[in-house]
Chains A and B, each alone.
Chain A
């Protein structure tokens, strides 16, 4: 695994010392809030509704077991014993005191963690496929490139004051488990003949103006990655709008300029910038890459796995949802659902973090990943160990067999924590999950991505949910808009708004009507919600949502 270099270590320690001093100066009044605010945001510290919130980066979603224990430590000592994993492969601590923050950052630095560039108009934490370096369908591990981008962009003078925040996602597999079309820049490793390179997308994003990124380059040689990204950022710095916050994201720049003229500008910048890259970046990449090598996987006879599948139905149900093929056939990638129905999606307690860290040591070579679906992944587990792993997960309440199902929903913090929220999202997510669990329909329904955001900023990716729920404030009452037909991955789509919103209490019944309509209309259990929606059009679903079934019959 990638370990900090001495340079990183010194850089992070230095940042912590600086921040400790800045906090002291804020508390004694020598810094005003106006002066201090950008400094605390640079260190991932937001002021939310009821407390400070600290956002800690989990670069490319990769954690070691000792780093997971460091997060557990912070949760125990400085928060209320839990943390919230986010769709951008970060963890957020919700109950932080300003006065504790320098100590927290110091504690995190002990295990190579930090909160740098988790906020502000800079290049944010680069996200990747949570199965990176492990999945059978992967062309190449995207993480060395993510780390290369991290090193190049961290504290890069030209990129600290971009017109707006900038998010990059990379996937190494055709499946795209990183929602690359919803990012400012999306990169996909592809093959052309014998050569591997990047397909480059630009100008995606959600928020108040959702857009899917169009293609900027169909094939970029790997060695051109940094100069090409720099060219994109140079073009954005040049023509991106700084006059209006709502038009400042690169998606608006690309949309208003048009992809063709924008591409011309990027290529022009690229021609200028390319000669400045004379190979130091490639040398750095060569240094980085071995840190991401697959661990020495121990060969084990997977017979016990097959046996448990036939004799233990609970195990079989869990394995069906949680186990994905690994590069090595006797191993598997395991997704641990942190969305046991009724619990807060994304929240993990310190005790669970430690339990999972121990299991990673025992069965997973000490490696962990955080997925953008807000779940925890053990990337390398011998199939023979799966029954033991499942039994251990049951003991800590982390064996829900619902990965990818309706109760595995994404929800942002919403009105319970977030200063920007217009409605709650977590309790609604809990109610929906609990409701379908009680009805006993979760497995019958099959895969159904449902996503909830507590305001137009769309942190819960609601636009990309087959069912999307957006919470708004309508004249002092929560009101939820429902969109249908969103998707991520290769077939990414933005969901379509169905009509007037629903009051809080009306949402669960509306979703139930919708889901029951789908169950009645689908050709077979193999026809997904989205497939049925595409075949039949929105009308029968809209009618069910608004309870117009009788009229429509």
Chain B
């Protein structure tokens, strides 16, 4: 593992529903970044990226995201990626958005 390499996870959006997905070691796409496979060297990252791109009817816009490794799992470096991982920061206050708390579905394929 090269010392200068910034660890990465593979991310994309679910083609059908649009939600954020991460590539797990099992080869499944998962919704929780904590379950994503963390790639710690360049060659491995490129290989996993290629294999993740082999699901064009499942995931769209596959790319590598820089992360740091924390006790709770990988945490994205970039602000935008932190928002992608967490979801919107606003709890919609309108009564309509009560549906916000919709059950978490699994994106595993």
Seen from chain A, the residues whose Cβ lies within 8 Å of a Cβ on chain B are 26-29, 32-33, 47-52, 75-76, 80-82, 96-99, 342-344, 347-352, 415-417, 421-424, 426-427, 430, 473, 476-478
Contact = CB atoms under 8 A, between A and B. Distances in A.
A98 B93 contact: no
A347 B88 contact: no
Nearest to A29: B57
Nearest to A83: B96
Given A32-B56, A47-B13, A97-B18, A427 B90 contact: yes
A347 B89 contact: no
B18 A52 contact: yes
Interface in B1-43: 13, 15-20
B19 to A, nearest CB: 6
Contact of A347 (B61, B80, B92): B92
A476 B79 CA distance: 5
A416 B16 contact: no
Contacts of B94: 81-82, 343-344, 347-349, 352
Given A80-B99, A416-B88, A342 B18 contact: no
Given A27-B57, A347-B92, A349-B96, A48 B79 contact: no
Interface in B73-93: 77-80, 83-84, 87-90, 92-93
Given A50-B20, A97-B18, A33 B61 contact: yes
Contacts of A427: 89-90
Given A49-B83, A417-B88, A81 B97 contact: yes
Interface of A (DSSP majority class): mixed
Given A33-B56, A80-B97, A415 B83 contact: yes
Most buried by B among A50, A75, A427: A50
B93 A342 contact: yes
Contacts of B17: 51, 97-99
Contact of B19 (A27, A51, A80, A477): A51
Contact of A80 (B60, B83, B100): B100
21 contacts: A27-B16, A27-B57, A29-B56, A29-B57, A47-B61, A49-B83, A50-B20, A50-B87, A80-B96, A81-B95, A81-B98, A82-B92, A82-B96, A82-B97, A96-B18, A99-B17, A349-B95, A351-B96, A415-B80, A422-B79, A426-B90
Given A50-B19, A82-B96, A98-B18, A33 B83 contact: no
Nearest to A97: B17
A421 B78 CA distance: 12
A220 to B, nearest CB: 44
Given A47-B60, A49-B80, A351-B96, 12 more contacts: A50-B84, A50-B87, A51-B18, A51-B19, A80-B102, A97-B17, A98-B15, A348-B94, A349-B97, A351-B95, A352-B96, A426-B90
B20 A49 contact: yes
Contacts of A51: 17-19
A478 B79 contact: yes
Contacts of B96: 75-76, 80-82, 349-352
Contacts of B87: 50
Contacts of A348: 94
Return the 3 tightest CB-CB contacts between A and B, nearest first: A81-B96, A349-B96, A416-B88
Given A29-B57, A98-B18, A349-B97, A416 B90 contact: yes
Contacts of A343: 93-94
A344 B90 contact: yes
Interface string B41-60: 00000000000000011001
Contacts of A473: 78-80
Contacts of A347: 92, 94
Nearest to A82: B96
Contacts of B57: 26-29
Contacts of A415: 79-80, 83, 89
Nearest to B78: A476
Contacts of B18: 47-48, 50-52, 96-98
